[in-house]
Structure formats: C-alpha cells, structure tokens
Chain A
C-alpha cells in the first residue's frame, strides 16, 4: 500500500506515533554538543539532513544487554531470562542501516537459529525506513547495492513537498489519517557516492594479499581506539560478563559488545595476545566484513555507511585500503 504525506505534517505524524500506548518512539536527532543519534523526540532536534553518526543498531544489539538473572538457593538455582519486551517504533532508518539489520537478522535469526534476546527485540519493533536523497561524504552504499532496502514496515521517500510512503505487513498498524492513498510509483533517486569499493572477487583478492604491505602501513597509523568498530552498524562481537549489583543477592549475566581492534579481544593466559600487531587487528576488522562473512553467510557485512571513516581520528579509510590492494 502506498501513501502520500505532506512534509509539513511529519511533526504531527511523529506526535501521533509518540502517543501510542506502551510504545516508545525514536527518531534521528541532533543532540546537545552536535552528535547525531537516535533518541526520543524530547532529547534533541529532529535531524534529517544525513545519516546519524551513531547507528540504530543499539535497539537490536545494545552495547550492554542483560541475559539472565541467577538466584543461587540451597539446592537449586533460579534462572530468569531477561527478555526485553519493550515495544519500539524507530523512525528514520536509512537504507544502508536497514541492510545492516538484514545482515543481523540473517546471522541471529536464520544462520544460528533464533537468538531469543535479539529475536524479541526485532519482533517488538516497528521499523520506518527513510531513503537518502544525497550521499554523505564518506558513503559508498552504491558500491554495495545497499542504497535501497526492502526490510521495513514503512518506508518514507522524500519527493518534492511530500513523502511517498510504502507500507508492508505490520506497518499497517502505523497508518495515519494524515496519509493519503496514492497509486504513484516509488520516486526515483540517484545517489552520487564519491567513495567506491570494487567488490568483484574481493574475498579471493584479499586472501591472496593477506600480507599486502598496506596492512603494515595503516597498522602503524592506527591507534587501536576501536571507534570504527563501535560506530559500525554490523559489528556485533561480544563478551559475556557477570556481576552482583550492589546490595543485591541475585547476579546479572550480560552480553556486552567487544571490539576486535582491542588487544584484549584475543588475550589468553600468560598475557598471550594472538593478534598482537595493530595491523593484524585492522585487517581482522576489514576482512571480517569483506571476506570472512562471505564464506560463512554468503554476504559482505559492510553496508557502506562510511561511519568507520568518519569516526577514525587518523583518517584510515577502508575504501582506500581495498583500492590499494586491488591496485586501483
């Protein structure tokens, strides 16, 4: 089903969504200090100029999430699963980030079978996509075919003074009286990404060039700060921690995101670190996206959002690294 919503009514529509009982609404915001990320409307100004610095992955793979609460009794142990049942509407997810969710869905719902914690979050979320009309300076989605997406409940496409809206499945719950039916086709948008990656045979190419000198060269620049991995919408590696909250008798087991750029990621007894060199860790980050997930899941797991480039304090750019390996 397709609809039209005048742009000037977007605020009204978001207010409507915000009033839905038992549901929280999130949208891209410019927050104090200038950082852009998803939040509740009261936390900042709606920001629709370009994609946000922080991706919406936090709604599905949060930085820190509770898995279980354990209560050790005399002859038994109480185990409570900490499933997040909060209903959420997330407005304004860009196509590349929808592809990131598609990748996470494949990994955490299909490839491994259903991950309860992730699965419930996905089930309880409405996703409203928003297509881009301009490419950001570090975007390269057009190289990866991630500039349009299908996995949304609602999709907003800017066109003139209106949004053209596509509604699918449970997205019907979010249809408003402000929407007008239309039979017009999805507006065509052409994006001009300045950055590019040629993904042809990229796995074979990077296998062959595993010891290419570019890794060493960039490894020397890299600070191992892990900003890139923290910003990446598909990075989802984690460690499992447990603690007893102060003053409580039950313990909480959590899953927390961990980053392959940090030496601790492969550290074992005797302070032995398997990927000790920064170059090895930088290579792990990039090859996991462009090579290893192709082997395991048949897909590249970089969606070309360019966040790792924007966030890197020393200007490391994976499109340049991969370009250099190919010999341009």
Chain B
C-alpha cells in the first residue's frame, strides 16, 4: 500500500467538543500518529479535508491559533449530511484528516501594521485563528480591530473569548447582529456597517476578511472608501471544494484554483480573476 496517496485520510482523534451555538460546535483534534501531530503546521486561512467515516469528506478551516501545536480546532456548522454526522461525534471518536491545504493569511506581512479582522457568520473560524495568532504575538502588531457579525448574538462563535477580547485593551471589538441581542452590546445590522461606523486608521493598515459571498464585495468597497488599498485586503474565498489539491476542478476560477492559489487572496488578486455570473 502506498502511504503517499494524496486522497488517503490520516486517522485523528476528537479530544474535546465545545458547543458554540445552537448549530455550531468546535472539535479539538489530534492525529493518532504523534509524529504527524508534531509536524502539523499551518497558517490561518488554510483548511483541512475532514473525513467523517461512513458519510464523506469536506473542507473545514482550522480555527485554533497557528502557535498551538499539540492539537488543532475545527469549528463546524451543521448544514447538511456530513456536518450533521460530525455533530454526532463525541470525545474519543475518530475522524480522518488530509491537509492542510491552500494558502493562508500572510501574518508575517502584517508585522508592525494595524489589522482589521472582519468576519461574518462561520467565517469567524479561519479569521478567528488569525486573530488568535495576532494576539499571541501582540507586540509585533499595531492596533487590532475585530468587526464580527452573525444572524443573532446566540449564533456568535467563541463567546468566552469574545467577552475576554471585549474587555481587553489589546483589541477593539465591534459586534453586529440582526436581532436584538441580550447580554451583548451589538449594532443592529450588518457587519459591513461596522466598517463605516468604526474609527480606525487607513494608513499602515491591513484587513483580513472571511464571510458569505454577499458580504465580501461590500466589505472591500467600504474598506477602499476608507483608504485601504486592495493589496492590503485579504479575503478567504470559499468555493465548493472536493479534493483540496487542484484536481477535481470545482474551485477553478479562470486560470486559478482556489484550493491551491487560495482560499486566501488579496483583493487585488481577487479583482484580477474573471468576473463570472
């Protein structure tokens, strides 16, 4: 048997399950093979292909800090067959992992800069990883901002961390939710409104975005209006993906494959892709 088969999932154990919201759970994962776990390194924005044995495989972003190495987290929203099956799994259960795949957010290029993190819904998973990385090496970066929106405050992910970050002087946190939200100070509207409402410098500032397709164009336009250039805006482009290695064709846009050249692109790269309808 050829262990180098790129489609072969590596067994990994769920070491912890955290309930984030009514439809989202975070799973802590550890490779069964300790050597593999030791070697596991990723940049926020990269994703793994997760096998729920018996149900199939799906791409999921890594949501834990890139500096945490003994295990990694996957934050999964229950939307269909495989995600639902994953939600039934418990501590000690086995899954399969391939990856990590793709290009992440270039955290090194953010050094000495102000960073605005913008997340919509489940998009908080990958940029949340980035944010954890930034906070862990806080001294290397300028001002940090988190603008995060979800359907309702109940749907917020990482609630304990959010509370902590809200109280921290290390970062400015602004939240948005569509409905009135108990216990949270929220803007009643979209996360993209927060871009206009929040004061942050345009000079020496980069933005890190992940969210549903409708949010992305608006977010870029509003950032541009504030004076942030396309080359300083980084977006995670989540297309339908099956293989993660550039073979299945699903994530192909023009001459690029989002699982290889993406999912993280600068707004400049994004605008160079053909506009499809």
A interface residue numbers (CB < 8 A to B)? 67-68, 70, 72, 75-77, 79, 81, 107-108, 112-113, 115-117, 210, 236-242, 244, 251, 253, 255, 258, 260, 265-270, 272, 274-277, 279-280, 284, 288, 291-292, 295-296
Contact = CB atoms under 8 A, between A and B. Distances in A.
Given A68-B7, A239-B250, A112 B245 contact: yes
Contacts, number: 112
Given A81-B1, A81-B8, A242 B240 contact: no
Contacts of B6: 112-113, 115
B5 A77 contact: no
Contacts of A266: 239-240, 250
Interface string B234-261: 0000111011011111101111000000
A237 B9 contact: no
Interface residue SS majority, chain B: loop
Interface in B185-231: 212-213
A289 to B, nearest CB: 12
B2 interface: yes
Interface in B84-125: 94, 96
Contacts of B9: 79
A276 B250 CA distance: 14
B225 to A, nearest CB: 25
Nearest to A75: B94
9 contacts: A70-B53, A112-B245, A116-B5, A237-B250, A244-B54, A258-B250, A268-B239, A270-B212, A274-B276
A114 to B, nearest CB: 9
A253 B57 contact: yes
A72 B56 CA distance: 13
A116 B2 contact: yes
A76 B57 contact: no
B54 A292 contact: no
B51 to A, nearest CB: 8
Nearest to B241: A268
B94 A77 contact: yes
Nearest to A211: B275
B90 to A, nearest CB: 13
Given A76-B11, A277-B276, A292-B252, 5 more contacts: A242-B55, A253-B57, A260-B249, A268-B238, A275-B277
Contacts of B246: 112
A130 B245 CA distance: 35
Contacts of A275: 276-277
Contacts of A295: 255
A251 B254 CA distance: 35
For this complex, into which size category does the number of interface residues on chain B fall?
35 or more
A288 B253 CA distance: 10
A240 B252 contact: no
Given A72-B94, A244-B54, A265-B240, A272 B7 contact: no
Nearest to A203: B255
Given A238-B248, A272-B213, A280-B277, A72 B54 contact: yes
A68 B51 CA distance: 12
Contact of A239 (B11, B79, B96, B248): B248
A77 B97 CA distance: 12
Contacts of B35: none
A224 to B, nearest CB: 14
Contacts of A288: 249, 252
A7 B9 CA distance: 51
Interface string B53-77: 1111100000000000000000000
Contacts of A108: 247
Contacts of A117: 7
B96 A265 contact: no
B277 A276 contact: yes
Nearest to B83: A269
B255 A296 contact: yes
Contacts of B96: 70, 77
Given A116-B5, A240-B56, A272-B213, A265 B250 contact: yes
| 8 closest cross-chain pairs (CB), A and B | A237-B249, A242-B56, A295-B255, A251-B54, A277-B277, A280-B276, A70-B53, A72-B53
A260 B254 CA distance: 13
B240 A267 contact: yes
Nearest to A251: B54
A292 B2 contact: no
A239 B242 contact: yes
A39 to B, nearest CB: 28
Nearest to B251: A266
Contacts of B183: none
A240 B6 CA distance: 13
A242 B94 CA distance: 16
Nearest to B1: A81
A236 B250 CA distance: 11
B22 interface: no
A240 B274 contact: no
A67 B248 CA distance: 14
